[in-house]
Chain A
Amino acid sequence: MRYGLPIRPLFLLLAAAVSLSGCGGPKDDRVRITIWHQDRPDVRDVLQKQLDRFMALHPEVKVEQLFKETEELRSGFIIAAIAGQGPEIVYGPSDQVGPFQVMDIILPLDSLFDRTFLDQFTPKALTYYKGRLYKIADKMGNHLTLVYNKKLVPVPPRTEAELVAMGKALTKDTNGDGKVDQYGLTWNYTEPFFFIPFMTGFGGWIMDEEDRPTLNTAGTVNGLKFIKALRDEHRIIPNEADYNIADALFKDGHAGMIINGDWSWAGYQKAGLDIGVAPLPKITSTGLWCGTMVSPKGFSINANITEEKKRWAVELIRYLTSEENQMEATRTLFTMPTNRNVIRSGFVQNNEILRNSQIQIDNGQPMPVVPELRAIWDAMRPSYQAVLAGSRSPEQAATDMQLQALQRIREMNE
């Protein structure tokens, strides 16, 4: 009986694989700098252009960017750095700074950059922790905004009362099958990060100045009540919505408004929607705007870096955060710059989307950098979702969140 494996085709396949693969090729003795980041594809394209220009200026250096998903970037960087390895530069939001600093795997940057250089940035762009500088940002981000479909919503609401009224007018059964198929508002409301605006709108915040959790407040309770009312009383948001469902509803024109960040705008335009971006509304009873967490996104340097590479890493960060490169990113991506001149530029000041984005940033609170932030999210999630499921009262949930957060923080810091 013949059972012979198809040796020849297999061999050919292997040969083809080798030729396609990254094996071989001339050895490259340039200085290698690697950046890990967690940015979306269009941001990567802009970064690549800038890196290519940098390499053209400095032929002796090869810079590579590597995308890692947020969680994986953090855990992967920690693992690599403990083993004495890892990328020379990590790029990301400021909440990386806390854990990385405590573990001593990123360098303080104060002595590596001069004062004049640092003075070109708005103060929010420089992330200090325990008195030293650990991150230099080229973008402000992570903030949520109210995105609206201009076809359905000609003028965005400015207060929560207007939001509810507009939502009620928009939420309807358009095809007469007895089911609602157009909603006033939708968003990923099951995730605590997307709850923060309402918590702050009602006067709450997650931590005090000493980084102790402050979840058991009227702000939390009223915020929870408000979201629950949007769904159960005013019925202007869908019964069930995670990020992808909310996104699909808005893209398909089945929702007038969505709460989402700057990363989503281009996608909505690509889907053929005429969108507007507005600050999240003001809560009448408190007189406060719904503010979101705002985080600078920037560069930190691995503590394992060699002296030679350190010089190049500094050079590269100076280059990537420069005025021209920030201008380029802002024009292509509608991200908020950190360089004072770019912020003052006509482009930023006259663009409606960027202007509203700036208002939302000003209404927001900086994202805490301390490692304890992880504990806060983890403590909030189950109680928050229990309120939405109707199995816990908002007051009870606020108490539970606080207790959980305290316990988690104690466990982390043993």
Chain B
Amino acid sequence: MSPSLRKNLFIAFLVAPAFVILIGVVVYPFVYNVVLSFSNMNLRHIRDWEIVGLRNYVKVFTEPSQPDFYVIFIKTVVWTVVNLFFHVVIGVFLALVLNQKEIRGKGIFRTVLVLPWAVPQLIVALTWRGMFNYEYGSINQIMTRLGLPAVEWLRGPTEAFIAVIITNVWLGFPFMMVIALGALQSIPHDLYEAADIDGASWYHKLRNITIPLIKPVMVPAITLGTIWTFNNLNIIWLVSNAGEPSDSTHILVSFVYKAAFNFYRYGYGAALSMVIFFILLAFSLVFMRRTKAADAVY
């Protein structure tokens, strides 16, 4: 066996199994949806659907809807960006604090901090909803005790949106913390020691050692985190009681959900899903290129 063939076989051995599973599972549903997005499959044509061209795509962008497609799109972007920002900042910050030599009881801190990830989401999201209640919720009770005015969290559109985001930040930071904690382990101590000898400031060390070295692990996590958050309807649905007040807390996927499950408009839902797909594809291509995540560091 020639060395190059042997090397290729080794690569195939490493990469192929994961790929076969992925392709096996993903290709059919994806192609099915592409076809569906050009079809008129809906309540009246659930089995006898046919290809009708771009009609669904035109509708996605032009059909008047309440709330408006473009408003929802902007909300989705805000929702995603704010969530990811806090997930990553809080997660990395806690990981850095935990990673200091002097801290004792790390195991306990780590475990307690990971709890929001570990508890079943449905019930915790609903207890958060209870915590946001104007009169009986603990958040307002704490705020008034601290001399702050009580907030009508679930009645105003902006307040409700903030409440949903707070809940999701709480649910999501442990994940980023764990990833960052893992990533920090790959940084050899001597790099910091050398920097200390040069008299580098903490900011300088963060900027020039920590961030570049955790980047290869964090960038994929952030990319995927963005994709998941963009499409994560559950928490919004539970905390805002399906979009209250007045459908003002929806994000784009709730349109997909409603189209498919409430109105049986499968063709339209598939077209909207394709649009979401392309938005996320464009984002990840740009983001990955900017951060050079596919390249090696050494």
Q: How far is the CB of B53 from chain A (nearest CB, A)?
A: 14
Q: Specify the main secondary structure of chain A where it touches its partner.
A: helix
Within the complex, what minimum Cβ distance (angstroms) separates B164 from chain A? 15
Asked whether A179 lies within 8 Å of B135 as measured between CB atoms, the reply is: yes
Q: Which residues of the other chain, A, contact B134 by a CB distance below 8 angstroms?
A: 239-240
Chain B residue contacts of A239, Cβ below 8 A: 134-135, 152, 155
In the assembled complex, which residues on chain B have CB atoms less than 8 Å from the CB atom of A190? 241, 244-245
Tell me if B64 is interfacial: C-beta within 8 Å of chain A: yes
Bound form: Cα–Cα A411–B260 in Å: 12
> Is B40 at the interface (CB under 8 A from chain A)?
yes
Q: How far is the CB of B292 from chain A (nearest CB, A)?
A: 30
Of the candidate stretches A7-15, A258-266, A307-315, A375-383, the one touching chain B is A375-383
Question: In whole angstroms, what is the CA distance A383 to B246 when docked?
Answer: 6
Q: Which residues of B contact A413 (CB under 8 A)?
A: 43-44
A408 and B264 alpha carbons, distance in the complex (Å): 11
Contact check: which of A71, A240, A374, A381 meets B155 at CB < 8 Å?
A240
Contacts of B261 in A (CB 8 A): 71, 74-75
Cross-chain contact B43 with A385 (CB below 8 angstroms): no
Q: Is the CB of B152 within 8 A of A245?
A: no
A99: shortest Cβ distance to chain B, in Å?
Answer: 7
Give the complex CA separation of A413 and B44 in angstroms: 6
Q: Please name all residues of chain A whose beta carbon is closer than 8 Å to the beta carbon of B64 when the two chains form the complex.
A: 407
The reply to whether A408 and B130 contact each other, CB–CB distance below 8 Å, is: no
- Using a CB-CB cutoff of 8 Å, which residues 218-270 of chain B contact chain A? 241, 243-248, 258, 260-265, 268
State which of B42, B126, B152 has its C-beta within 8 Å of the C-beta of A412.
Answer: B42
Point out which of B40, B154, B247, B264 has the most chain A C-beta atoms below 10 A from its C-beta: B264
Q: Which residues of B contact A407 (CB under 8 A)?
A: 64
Instruction: Give chain A residues whose Cβ lies under 8 Å from the Cβ of B126.
Output: 244
A-B contact count (CB 8 A): 91
Interface assignment of B66: CB less than 8 Å from any CB of chain A: yes
The answer to whether B155 and A371 have CB atoms under 8 Å apart is no
Q: Could you tell me the distance between the alpha carbons of A71 and B40 in the complex, rounded to whole angstroms?
A: 23
Q: Which of B42, B135, B245, B246 has the most C-beta atoms of chain A within 10 angstroms of its own C-beta?
A: B246
Is the pair A408, B263 in contact by a Cβ cutoff of 8 Å? yes
Given A239-B134, A240-B134, A381-B247: A389 touches B43 (CB 8 Å cut-off) = no
Known contacts A371-B264, A404-B66, A411-B265; A103 and B43 CB within 8 A of each other = yes
Bound: A128/B64 CA distance, A: 35
User: What 0/1 readout, one digit per residue, does chain A (183-201) give for beta carbons within 8 Å of chain B?
Assistant: 0000000100000000000
Given A371-B43, A382-B66, A414-B40, the answer on whether A240 and B135 have CB atoms closer than 8 Å is yes
Knowing A240-B154, A413-B43, the reply to whether A389 touches B245 (Cβ < 8 A) is yes
- Shortest Cβ distance from residue A174 to the other chain B in the assembled complex, whole angstroms: 14
A386 at the interface (CB under 8 A from B): yes
A104–B268 Cα distance when bound, in Å, is 21
Chain B residues 121-146 with CB under 8 Å of chain A are 126, 129-130, 133-136
Q: How many residues in A have their beta carbons less than 8 Å from beta carbons of B?
A: 38
Say which size band chain B's interface belongs to.
Answer: 35 or more
Instruction: Annotate B45-69 by CB proximity to A: 1 below 8 A, 0 otherwise.
Output: 0110000000000000001101100
Cβ A374 vs Cβ B246 within 8 A: no
The verdict on B212 contacting chain A, using a C-beta distance below 8 Å, is no
Q: A240-B134, A411-B263, A412-B263 are in contact. Are A385 and B46 (CB under 8 A)?
A: no
Chain A nearest Cβ from B139, distance in angstroms: 13
Q: Does A82 sit at the interface, judged by CB under 8 A?
A: yes
Interface: A110 (CB within 8 A): no
Complexed CA–CA distance, A391 and B265 (Å): 31
Selected contact of A99 from candidates B40, B66, B264, B268, CB within 8 Å:
B264
Bound-state CA distance A331–B47 (Å) is 44
Residue A156 interfacial (CB < 8 Å): no
Partner pick for B246 among A99, A103, A248, A389, CB 8 A cutoff: A389
Q: How far is the CA of A327 from the CA of B244 in the complex (A)?
A: 41
Query: Is the CB of A78 closer than 8 A to any CB of chain B?
Result: yes
Check A382 against B247 for contact (C-beta < 8 Å): yes
The answer to whether A374 and B263 have CB atoms under 8 Å apart is: yes
B246-A381 in contact (CB<8A): yes
**In this assembly, does A362 line the interface, its C-beta being within 8 Å of a C-beta of chain B?**
no
Please encode chain A, from 224 to 257, with 1 for each CB lying within 8 Å of some chain B CB and 0 for all others. 0000000000000011101011001000000000
B246 and A386 within 8 A (CB): yes
Given contacts A378-B258, A412-B42, A412-B264, contact A385 B152 (CB under 8 A): no
- A102 interface residue (CB < 8 Å to B): yes
In the complex the two chains form, what is the Cα distance from A74 to B260 in whole Å?
Answer: 11
**B245 close to A385 (CB less than 8 A):** yes
Q: A244: which B residues are within 8 A, CB to CB?
A: 126, 129-130
Chain A 333-347: CB-based contact to B (< 8 A → 1; otherwise 0): 000000000000000
Chain B residue numbers with a CB within 8 Å of A385 are: 244-246
By beta carbon, the residue of chain B nearest A179 is B135
Judge whether B42 and A414 touch: CB under 8 Å.
yes
Chain A residues at the B interface, C-beta cutoff of 8 Å: 71, 74-75, 78, 82, 99, 102-104, 179, 190, 238-240, 242, 244-245, 248, 371, 374-375, 378, 381-383, 385-386, 388-389, 391, 400, 404, 407-408, 411-414
Report 16 cross-chain contacts, Cβ distance below 8 Å, ordered by A residue.
Answer: A102-B43, A103-B47, A104-B46, A239-B135, A242-B241, A245-B130, A371-B264, A386-B245, A386-B246, A389-B155, A400-B66, A411-B263, A412-B263, A412-B265, A414-B42, A414-B44
